[in-house]
Amino acid sequence: MVYSIRRIHPTSVVLPGAALAFLAGCLTVLALLATSAMAPAPIASSTLRGPIQLTFVGMPPALVLVAWPLLAAASGAAVAAACAWIYNLIVRFTGPVRVELDN
């Protein structure tokens, strides 16, 4: 059976995009905390890279560590919606993607 993907509703990809980006933001914070705990000396500076780049002297404040996954989720939702919009724009000229499923 062959299906054609002619349109992607942006609202259907926003939540999965936000969830994946939120998980990536949580893993970033956990990695920062784990590497900070294993450091042999006090942390002189730390950098969070992602949707934006934040550099701190020492450890970042707790508010930043809590807000980082939320900021990542917001940017993930925006990127997912933008990708759906771009796909819907391009599919007018190239035709739909065809997916074949076997039973």
Write out pLDDT tens, residues 16-66.
Answer: 999 999 999 999 888 888 877 777 766 667 777 776 777 777 667 777 788
pLDDT for residue 42: 67
* CA 39 to each of CA 25, 32, 42, 46, 72: distance values in angstroms, whole numbers, following the listed order: 21, 11, 7, 12, 26
Q: Give percent of the chain with pLDDT exceeding 70.
A: 92
* CA 83 to each of CA 9, 53, 59: distance values in angstroms, whole numbers, following the listed order: 10, 22, 35
Q: How far apart are CA 82 and CA 59, in angstroms?
A: 34
From the list 1, 7, 3, the residue with the least C-alpha distance to 99 is 3
pLDDT for residue 50: 72
